[in-house]
Structure formats: C-alpha cells, structure tokens
Amino acid sequence: MKFSVLMSVYHKENPDFLRLSLESVWNQTLRPDQIVLVKDGPLTPQLEAEIEAFSQVCPVLKLLPLPENVGLGKALNAGLEACDYSLVARMDTDDIALPHRFASQVAAFAEDPELDICGSHALEFEGTPDHVTAHKRVPITDQEIRRYARRRNPFNHPTVMYRKQAVLAAGSYQHALWFEDYYLWARMLANGCRACNIDDDLLYFRAGSDMFRRRGGLRYVKSAVSVKWKIYRMGVSGLGDFLYSAAAHSVVALMPNRLRSAVYARFLRK
C-alpha cells in the first residue's frame, strides 16, 4: 500500500530538529512513497539549507511553498490536497519517528480495510530521545477511542496515519486554535469513521517547559471550551462530559506553568 507523509514547517522552527525529523521519516523499514513538506511562509536560510540537503538524498520529497504564514491547520489542508496517495501519515518537524512506525501502520490498514485513522502511543523527551520524560498513552480500540474522545483528545496527532478521503469528507482541518486535530477527530468519529491506536510507541515527541507554557492562559481556555462545546453539539460527547472536561481543562490551563507541568506529569502521563 502506497502512502504519503504530510509535514509542515515555518520560520521559527529549529533546523537541527527538522533534519532529525526528516531523517527519521526516510530511514524507515518501510519507506514512504511521497513526503509532502509544506513551507508555511518564508523560511530562514538555515531551514532552507536543511531542506535542500535532504532533497539530495530523498527523491520522493515534494515541496509546497506558501507565500505567507497561514498557520498549521491551513498549511496541512494545502498539503493534504497535494498528497498523491489515499493513505497519509502525519509527522511534525521536531519529532522523531521510530524506524518501524510506517510498517506497523500500513499493516494495520492492510489487515482492516474499513480502518480510517490509526495512531499510537508516544514517548515524550527533552533534548535527546534517550532522555524520555513521559509515556503519552492513548486508548486502543474503536470503542475505547469513542469513549475517551468524549472528554479528551484520543490521538497523538503526529503519530496518526489516515485515509485522505475520510479527512476530506469530515471537512479537513478547520479553525480551532491549538485544537485543530481534536476537532477533526471528533468530526471523523461523528461521520462513522473506524479508528484504532496501535499498542506500541511509534514516535518520540519533543516536549519541555515551552510545550506546557503554550497550554496555559485565558486564550487557551477560551479555545478549549469552544471546541469542547462544538464536540458536544455534534453529539460526540454529553453535557456532563462537556461540563467536566471544560472545567478541568480551564483549571489546569490557568495554573502557573510549573504547577501545570506537574499536573500533566502526575495525572495526564504515565
């Protein structure tokens, strides 16, 4: 089964992280048939140099330059349209895929022709992958995912492989600041898409204090509550789920960053 990998990079990203991410995508036991890299607006010379160097060793790289920065959701929509294959794997440009990631996911789709979206657990790390700080686990079966989605995001976005047509049928990525992926998964589940997560760690997810800082503040709270309300209105969650998850999310987001980091480590990670 042929598949594309969808990535997006913008000017604030780290060139070294980008290089490691691209290398991990290419050095797989099952190599992708296409890598679509969206350049979300003008990039730094250092990022451009890394992309040029990678293009010399990867013949399946397809670049999609955008004239200005449009944000992750719109950039991914543009990249999705440029993907040539029905299976598309997401990947962030600062994470590192384990070598067997794509082989495991393609095998899952081959085994279940009705499968529409497949993710996995992830290992959060700081600095280098040998410094794992947390195990970001997700529900496994379709039933568990639907139950979990009532209150929380049931997928690690950069681990996901999905059917392009199923994403398009759900309206693709839509504006939901910091929650574009959760909102998309909810709409796909509401559309009857079949889902699973592989019970394995297929990705090293780059974490740190900056990640938890981005998950705080009043603006973050407003976006979280808005998305959870939409998910309730479409019938994916109940009113009790909305009230509980919106309240809990708000309390954690308004904590000082150090305390919020501790809460994530103690209660939301393994």
Cβ–Cβ < 8 Å for 95, 158: yes
> Is the confidence at residue 239, as pLDDT, over 80?
yes
Residues of the chain with pLDDT > 70, as a percent, come to 93
Averaged pLDDT score across all residues of the chain: 94
For the record, the structure tokens of 160 come out as: 């996901």
Radius of gyration of the chain (CA): 18
pLDDT at 267: 59
User: Residue 145: which residues within 8 A CB-CB, separation 6 or more?
Assistant: 138, 139, 154, 155, 189, 195, 196, 197
Per domain, the residue ranges of the chain are: 3-209
- The CATH homologous superfamily for domain 3-209 is Spore Coat Polysaccharide Biosynthesis Protein SpsA; Chain A (3.90.550.10)
pLDDT at 213: 64
What kind and span of H or E run contains 37? strand 34-40
Compute CA distances 30 → 63, 102, 107, 178, 242, whole Å.
21, 6, 10, 31, 40
pLDDT at 254: 81
> Is the confidence at residue 257, as pLDDT, over 70?
no
Could you read off the pLDDT of 103-117 as tens digits, one per residue?
999 999 999 999 999
Residue 209 pLDDT class (50, 70, 90 cuts): low
Interatomic CA distance for residues 149 and 99, integer angstroms: 28
pLDDT at 216: 73
Could you read off the pLDDT of 40-79 as tens digits, one per residue?
999 999 999 999 999 999 999 999 999 999 999 999 999 9
pLDDT at 241: 97
Cβ–Cβ < 8 Å for 94, 206: yes
Residues of the chain with pLDDT > 90, as a percent, come to 86
Pairing of strands 96-97, 194-206: antiparallel
Q: 50 in helix, strand or coil?
A: helix
> Is the confidence at residue 269, as pLDDT, over 60?
no
Count CB atoms within 10 A of the CB of residue 134: 17
Residue 249 pLDDT class (50, 70, 90 cuts): confident
Interatomic CA distance for residues 25 and 28, integer angstroms: 6
Which position has the higher pLDDT, 118 or 216? 118
